[in-house]
Amino acid sequence: MDKKTCFTAETIQTRLSANPFAKLSDIVLDIIQEAIINLDILPGEKINMTAIAESLNVSRAPVREAINALVKEGFVVEKPNVNGYYALDISDKYMAEFFMARSTIEVAAIRICAARFHSIDCRHLKECCDVFRRCYKTNDYEAFVAADRDFHGSLVQYTGNSFLINMYASLNRTIAHYYSLSRYYLKNYGSRDIFNDFELLINEHLAMYNAIRTGLVDCAASTAQRHLDTCYSSFVHYYLTKGVR
């Protein structure tokens, strides 16, 4: 954990200046959660409440309150048997449930997009596909991950369905965590291990785009489901094999 960049008293003051009425423990919660999402605190790493309180120049009370709230949200795990709190570690079960939720929302979203393809910004979706392919070829993994997130998020936004959009928004922090893990893996291992899988992902994006622009509703849904299954199996196979340590 790099306390110099993650936890500073200046961060607290900046956020209080932006919102003087914010509860201190809520600010601390956001800071710790962002550190977990951005992998400044690694999966499974023990969280040192005393060190965080000292770095933020606050008492332990708001840190303890923030940690307890993060336990309820699932980003922190309490381990009484080893006396401590730990950042969420990624398991096969966790990823299976996450992708089940994503599939439920995204497959419904792509069906709507394909059914209304005349009003969908297909040009933007094609641009995402092109950036996705180009950036993987050039090892620009930051832009690669950004294009992937843009593509999937756009499909949900284009539905105009407020319920689907809000359901997807509820996954935002978990999605951000997933992409941080993906970015970490790509930067450290790149195409040495996973070139074929990512060629498949690129082609599946194009297949989804083509199904939408031609109004093939059932094809779009089955392609999206297959793509998300590929994402899940690739992540579990490669990430959980090597992990982030």
Q: Report pLDDT for 223.
A: 97
Q: Report pLDDT for 132.
A: 92
Question: Cβ of 64: how many Cβ atoms within 10 Å?
Answer: 15
Tell me the whole-structure pTM to 2 decimals.
0.85
Q: Report pLDDT for 107.
A: 98
List Cβ neighbours of 101 (8 Å cut-off, separation of 6 or more): 171
Distance of alpha carbon 62 from alpha carbon 71, whole angstroms: 14
Helix (H, G, I), strand (E, B) or coil at 30: helix
Q: Report pLDDT for 112.
A: 98
| Nearest CA-CA partner of 111 in 204, 230, 203, 215 | 215
Angle formed by the axes of helices 24-37 and 49-56, nearest 10°:
110
Determine contact, residues 86/98, Cβ cutoff 8 Å.
no
| Nearest CA-CA partner of 84 in 110, 114, 113, 47 | 47
Q: Report pLDDT for 4.
A: 46
Q: Which two tokens stand for residue 209?
A: 């785009």
| 87-140 pLDDT per residue, tens | 998 888 899 999 999 999 999 999 999 999 999 999 999 999 999 999 888 888
Q: Report pLDDT for 232.
A: 92
The domains found in the chain, sorted by start residue, are 3-87 (1.10.10.10), 92-242 (1.20.120.530)
- Which stretch of DSSP H or E encloses residue 76? strand 76-79
Q: What residues of the chain score a pLDDT lower than 50?
A: 1-4, 245
